[in-house]
Structure 1
Amino acid sequence: MEPTFILNEKDFIWFTGVNHSNDDNSEFDKIYKRSWRKAESSNIMNYKVDEEILKTKVLPGYFKLVAQFNPMRVMNRRKPEEIVSIKQPFDSQKFNFTQIHDGEILFEIFLKCGSENEENQLTCTVVVNSAPITPFHGLLIPARFNCRPQILNVDGIRIAIAIVLASKTPALKVAFNSLGGMASVNHYHFHIYYLHHPLFIETAVCEHLVGPLYAFKDLYAPGFVFQLDRSDIGTTAKNAIILSNYLLEKEICHNVMITRGIPAQQEEQRELPVYDTVRVCFWLRKPSFGIKEIIGFAAAVCELSGHIPVYDDETWENLTEEEVVRSIKDVCLESYNKHLEDIKQLFS
């Protein structure tokens, strides 16, 4: 039997400091990091990655993009699945997370929702990523044996937000790539990792569009934002799925980052002593179908969020904020402008 971690809403940590290098860990952080290190010591992963091996720099410029050099990931990862449609069915004959080795499984999460009298429990398997981007890079797989394709649902978003709230540090990120949005495996999953540098999206100025819907006002990657209202994960998850279902219907590929941050109804970017909300950030994008190939850097969820994993020496030495911004705008801007008014109508 795999170890279990039972998470109740009363365990959520609603406020964190803004120090991303803070080693003050919650119970979840301790269990996750300890399990990940145990898997690492068992040589489960394809290569080792730690803060000493992983080069990090903040690119000069307005957005303070965080670049990290990790050439091992491209050379030593599973071959990505060929993706031909955002609605591609799950295929049990292709690689999926029912086939992973027991040593890759860290633990199971049981998220208890609602009152104690309600039997409402969500399950999620936490596994290592065999080709990690950063130390403690893993995967969250909601209801693993349901074998769902890589399509968002309410339960998955609820779990993802709950994991962010279970951590004591704003460094924890939970991320999702749709099919055609740089996802490598067509089996429902999120990425989970710690980034010990602040990202611009955590405090970026947002414009209120309508209802619960905000948009980044001053970001290189135009996108939409929902924020968590205190104690109401369910509503935030449902709003996110309204948008996700629209994107699925229109066959628009997308990326989602879930992170601590400051309230979206701000008027300017500012430094505060605490982060007191969770931002659920959506980007619409040009599709990337076929077998994913990465040269230099990609434009997936990490990059859209301002975290730029880099995979070759030349790109690492010469990468600039201007180059990243130009590449990402090319991926995102057209779809955002085309669907903005229709998406606003969803929440009118």
Structure 2
Amino acid sequence: MDHGMDSYLENLKDKWEDVHNKGGVFAYKLDVTTSKTLKGNYGFYCELNVERTTKRRIPQQIPLENTTFDPSKFNFTKIKPEEVLSEIPFKDSTVTFVINSSPLTKYHCLIVPDLDKCYPQILNKVSIGFTIRFLLNISDNSFKIGYNSPGALASVNHLHLHLIHLNQNTFIENIKLVKLKTDLEFYKSAHEHIRFVCFKVDTVNFEKNVDEFYKLIKWMIDSLIPHNLYFLKESTFVKIFVFAKKEAIAVKTLGQVNLAFCELIGYVPVGDEEVFDGLDEDSLVSSFRDASGDIYDKIYNFIEK
């Protein structure tokens, strides 16, 4: 383990709390006091965060067919200096951590590879490789990383991933996996109604595994398949969950349940009290199934060919 990453993380946490406590930079002070776990088979964990709906920046519409970076729209070159928490060198790149001004969790920040190069919100090998390395080399497994592609509820068309802090376990942590027919560490869900692809990677053959995983992501990008990713550390390896949608959803509906990476792993933040009160497992699972349709059959075939 590279214990230098722990030092970066501790400094990031200290600076996040300092900026958050001073005020004037975040859209609101995070203060989630209402939560519940839904009855059922999966244990969806839900939080009411009204201010994220009422005070957040309006999400951008990012057409899946045209993701060209537009410098006239909000992007991370326009942020204030105090929003930058840390910069970490990685290979020939610099990865910048900036606050998420409308946080879901404590320490919620954005991971922006090569900020000044202004990549659109399309994953590349550097962003994937850094994310895995970062998680492998920190001691605190309560930090997770997520990604929303264009067409899968990305809010800003400037390449970024989300670092969140979740002490609460979600169903994805222990969900049963079934190995796909490949020599690579690709798995699918054993559950009929909640589908995804999971890839496991550790430090053994690291670069080769990143390359192989990126082949899947590049194929999904080229095939215009919207996708959400969730990275979590387990023991000595990282699990990457890939959630796909059968069609693009261009923009989030504020206050409603949107199926971005958080919701898909069983952490459901909601900005409307009436919606929060009406949440139930059956309707969430049904919306998961409707959003993906039969797209996973196509994905499994690509992996196993």
Q: TM-score range by the shorter chain?
A: over 0.9
Instruction: Provide TM-score, normalisation by structure 1.
Output: 0.82
Task: For residue 38 of structure 1, give the secondary structure of its aligned residue in structure 2.
Answer: helix
Partner Cα separation in structure 2 for residue 236 and residue 37 of structure 1: 35
8 A contact 1:86–1:253 mirrored in 2: no
1:45 equivalent in alignment to 2:30: no
CA gap 1:282/1:305 in 2 versus in 1, 3 angstroms: same
Aligned residue runs from structure 1 range 1-348, under 5 A: 10-11=2-3, 26-43=6-23, 44-50=25-31, 53-111=32-90, 120-209=91-180, 210-212=182-184, 213-218=186-191, 220-261=193-234, 275-345=235-305
Post-superposition offset of 1:71: 1.3
Deviations 1:78-119 (A, max 9, x none): 1111222254111111111111111111110113xxxxxxxx
CA gap 1:302/1:220 in 2 versus in 1, 3 angstroms: farther
Structure 1 vs Structure 2 CA RMSD: 1.9
The runs of 5 or more residues in structure 2 that have no matched partner are none
Partner Cα separation in structure 1 for residue 168 and residue 279 of structure 2: 18
Task: For residue 18 of structure 2, give the secondary structure of its aligned residue in structure 1.
Answer: helix
8 A contact 2:193–2:285 mirrored in 1: yes
8 A contact 2:198–2:240 mirrored in 1: yes
> How many residue pairs are counted as aligned between the two chains?
302
8 A contact 1:107–1:125 mirrored in 2: yes
Could you tell me which amino acid in structure 2 is paired with residue 82 of structure 1? Q
Deviations 1:215-249 (A, max 9, x none): 12126431111101334432332222111111111
Could you tell me which amino acid in structure 2 is paired with residue 110 of structure 1? P
CA gap 1:233/1:57 in 2 versus in 1, 3 angstroms: farther
8 A contact 1:82–1:289 mirrored in 2: no
Aligned to 1:266: none
The runs of 5 or more residues in structure 1 that have no matched partner are 1-8, 14-25, 112-119, 262-274
Partner Cα separation in structure 2 for residue 57 and residue 236 of structure 1: 38
- Larger deviation: 322-331 or 159-168? 159-168
Aligned to 1:21: none
Deviations 1:153-197 (A, max 9, x none): 111011111222233222111111000000011100000010111
CA gap 1:148/1:126 in 2 versus in 1, 3 angstroms: same
Post-superposition offset of 1:35: 1.1
Partner Cα separation in structure 2 for residue 187 and residue 339 of structure 1: 26
